[in-house]
């Protein structure tokens, strides 16, 4: 993007192909009867929060703000998950999780220390969209839990992307028709396949399974591992160097996620 295809046009491809993959994968499991009267509205809401609003606001936000601003603002996602899980799912307040999230967040800030990021009026609209995207994704993690308690992860993901595809069509159709498919070489096509298969199909499926097994708060906290993995990959590709502040940041993030995953009853307080 944006030479071969613009952001919203790419979302059409990303969501559409992932939807087909989920439809095919769902054939491997026993067909489930959906209680549309009870769960239909939640399916639609999850589609809007987890696919439509999440992807559209993130792509448009990055067009306006800077990548580092986006990375910093996305650190708020686990905090929103933690708060929404208490408010929506009536989850008990676990102090260990709150402390762990704050420690991991501090580690991410240390990891990005020294990089050029600043918030100004020029980036404000994009910054707001990234924040709204973080809230949207956090709400999706929390809202999807009830559906996953009643249906298979593949079933939930399938309908989430079916409704999501219908919702993103009006926003991205024009850009999709303007895409330069004839100029896309093998490298570009392989990159698109990677994004669709690994960072969409597999990522959403594993996220759905993890929400049911580990809960929204812990799933949200693992977002803090992303900058660690990005740093490790950059170092392995010799595009970055390991330093003391990176080691400190990594230790803080690991410690924060570990604390978040503990289930010590001494930390539990009623919300």
Q: Per the structure block, which two tokens stand in for 162?
A: 């079916």
Do 39 and 143 meet the contact criterion of CB atoms below 8 Å apart? no
Q: What is the pLDDT of residue 114?
A: 59
Q: What is the pLDDT of residue 80?
A: 83
Q: What is the pLDDT of residue 263?
A: 57
Q: Per the structure block, which two tokens stand in for 64?
A: 């306006």
Phi, psi (degrees; rounded to nearest 5) at 151: -135, 160
* Rounded CA separation 157/163 (Å): 10
Residue 118 is given by DSSP the state: -
DSSP secondary structure letters along 185-250:
-HHHHHHHHHHHIIIIIIHHHHHHHHHHHH-HHHHHHGGGGHHHHHHHHHHHTTSS---HHHHHHH
Rounded to 5°, angle at Cα 198 from 250 and 61? 70
* Rounded CA separation 166/91 (Å): 32
Do 78 and 217 meet the contact criterion of CB atoms below 8 Å apart? yes
Do 57 and 136 meet the contact criterion of CB atoms below 8 Å apart? yes
Q: What is the pLDDT of residue 119?
A: 63
Do 7 and 175 meet the contact criterion of CB atoms below 8 Å apart? yes
pLDDT in tens, 249-258: 888 888 888 8
Alpha helices in the chain (DSSP H): 7-25, 36-47, 54-64, 67-73, 77-88, 95-111, 124-150, 153-177, 186-196, 203-214, 216-221, 226-236, 244-260
H or E element that contains 93: strand 93-94
Q: What is the pLDDT of residue 180?
A: 95
Parts of the chain with a pLDDT under 70:
68, 112-120, 240, 262-271
Q: What is the pLDDT of residue 270?
A: 41
Spatial neighbors of 254 by CB under 8 A, at least 6 apart, are 107, 228
Q: Per the structure block, which two tokens stand in for 66?
A: 């800077």
Q: What is the pLDDT of residue 197?
A: 96
Q: What is the pTM of this model?
A: 0.81
H or E element that contains 94: strand 93-94
Give me the sign of the Cα torsion angle 96, 98, 102, 108. Answer: positive
Q: What is the pLDDT of residue 118?
A: 61
* Rounded CA separation 144/124 (Å): 30
């Amino acid at each position: 993007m944006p030479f071969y295809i613009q952001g919203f046009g790419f979302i059409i491809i990303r969501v559409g192909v992932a939807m087909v993959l989920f439809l095919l994968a769902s054939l491997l499991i026993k067909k489930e009867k959906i209680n549309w009267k009870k769960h239909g509205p939640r399916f639609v809401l999850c589609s809007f929060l987890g696919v439509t609003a999440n992807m559209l606001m993130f792509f448009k936000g990055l067009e306006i703000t800077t990548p580092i601003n986006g990375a910093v603002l996305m650190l708020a996602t686990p905090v929103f998950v933690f708060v929404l899980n208490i408010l929506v799912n009536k989850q008990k307040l676990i102090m260990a999780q709150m402390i762990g999230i704050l420690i991991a967040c501090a580690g991410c800030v240390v990891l990005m220390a020294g990089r050029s990021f600043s918030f100004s009026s020029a980036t404000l609209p994009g910054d707001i969209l990234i924040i709204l995207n973080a809230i949207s994704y956090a709400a999706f993690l929390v809202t999807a839990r009830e559906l996953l308690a009643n249906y298979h992860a593949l079933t939930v993901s399938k309908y989430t992307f079916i409704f999501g595809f219908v919702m993103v069509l009006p926003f991205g159709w024009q850009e999709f028709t303007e895409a330069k498919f004839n100029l896309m070489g093998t490298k570009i096509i392989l990159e698109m396949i990677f994004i669709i298969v690994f960072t969409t199909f597999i990522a959403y499926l594993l996220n759905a399974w993890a929400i049911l097994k580990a809960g929204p708060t812990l799933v949200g906290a693992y977002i803090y591992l992303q900058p660690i993995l990005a740093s490790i990959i950059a170092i392995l590709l010799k595009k970055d160097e390991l330093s003391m502040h990176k080691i400190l940041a990594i230790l803080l993030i690991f410690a924060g996620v570990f604390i978040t995953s503990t289930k010590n009853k001494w930390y539990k307080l009623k919300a």
